[in-house]
Structure 1
Amino acid sequence: MEEPTILGFERELPIEKIEPITDLNVRTIGVHKGLEQLAASIKQLGVLQPVSVIQKDGTYELFVGQRRYLASLQAGRKTIPAIVYAPMNKINARIRSMSENIQRRALDPEDTGEVCYELYRREKNLSRVAELLGVSIPTVTKYLGYRTLPDWLKQIVLERGITVTKAVTFWNFAQHDETKVRALVERLPSMTKPEIDRLLIFFEASPEEDADLLVEKAKKQRVLRRVIIHLPPRYALGLSNAAVAKDAEPEDIARHAVMDWLEENGYV
């Protein structure tokens, strides 16, 4: 992606000369949610982060910062700090909007999934999508997976009943068996976080096992055998780097590495 030209940093622009362009801004869900609180904060503290606009014939097209713009209007501001860009094509403007919103985790999972899908459909390469958005490949994969979830499971995610990562993990382990996933997810409110973590471990190992039995095992087995591995500094650093690159916990990477080795060598 060609870097667009910046014409000015944090210039105070008249709000009346700014026009929000909806097809350039990737946020479509929750735009007006919490605007009153944001407007109150802007009245007290001002706009702490500038919006991004494209200069066009004496006016400006807004492509990053839609909520800050709307809240500033509501707060009665006459100007707003902005980064001003030279004219750029629609694709580059949308990519910059996508990147900022995803890195700030400001998007609804549905919007994030659509962002990743739109770029993947254009680039046909996960690494390229991750590079453009400034996120890890597992993050892109996770949100592409979110798009395949049934609506009822997405709703549970939106209600904070389950994280995107766990919802996609359950869905993938069940090979999109909706009945199996529903049977497991319905039991999650009565389970502790360690029990849910154990449930995922057991489910990954035996995806065909009955849901009731998996939950029973996860609740009953309070302690999994714990093995402490002391790694030389070089390998400890490598594990940390892998965790960052894979957007995963170091323990999960180490656990999967050991499990894969045991399977490959015929010990399980």
Structure 2
Amino acid sequence: MSGAVAGVCSVFVTGTDTEIGKTLVSAALLHGLNALGLRTAALKPVAAGAHEIDGIWHNDDADQLDAAASVVLPPAMRTPFLLRAAIAPHLAAAQEGVTLEIAPILACHAMARQRADVVVVEGVGGFRVPLTETLDTADLACALNLPVVLVVGMRLGCISHALLSAEAIAARGLRLVGWVANQIDPAMPFAAENVAALSMRLERQYHAPLLGHVPHLTPSAPQQAARHLDAARLLHALQSQGATPS
């Protein structure tokens, strides 16, 4: 293990909605942590939307995480629930006769922690996406008991979405260790002012620093996005008291 890390750190990446850049930011954080000399691994525990290549099912988000991580996990460990239809996970699972269970995900995370210095776990959709009739992704985050990074898709309405997500994270007893502004709407008026408003509120209410503001990238490029993120600040937050579960 790298001498820069005291124990293994893990972080749960969630977002204010679907398609707001969780995978881009997760991959960018992996690149940034790699640059610090750390062994990184990624989990995408539940992925909905798969295509077959040479007899093997792939998910674009999971493949992007694999490309960014320095330690590539076996597909069944990285994504224990790979669903074929690109729809809400609980609906895709019902179509395939699959029950989305938390226990296998916890087991995969435990194995991943044995292989890397830092494990980035990317959620699915927003913070409260249904997994079953009774469980959602907030329950998964609680079961993993990990600090959380919130990706905010910068567009009209994002301030309310971000503050509601932060409130839900805190209500579950989880620590919001930072947030990332991802500029999904390049024409958003007063984008910098919106980032400043959110930064003030998230820092004041949740002690969650801004880890970076990723500009609109076409096409999305995790290595380029990594230049706009402070991976060292995230690592410090993860290693601080109470950020890493025992």
Whether TM exceeds 0.5 here: the answer is no
TM-score (norm 1): 0.28
Q: From the two aligned structures, give the one with the greater strand fraction.
A: 2
Of structures 1 and 2, the one with the larger relative CO (CA 8 A, separation 6+) is 2
TM-score (norm 2): 0.29
Q: From the two aligned structures, give the one with the greater helix fraction.
A: 1
Higher-Rg member (1/2) = 1
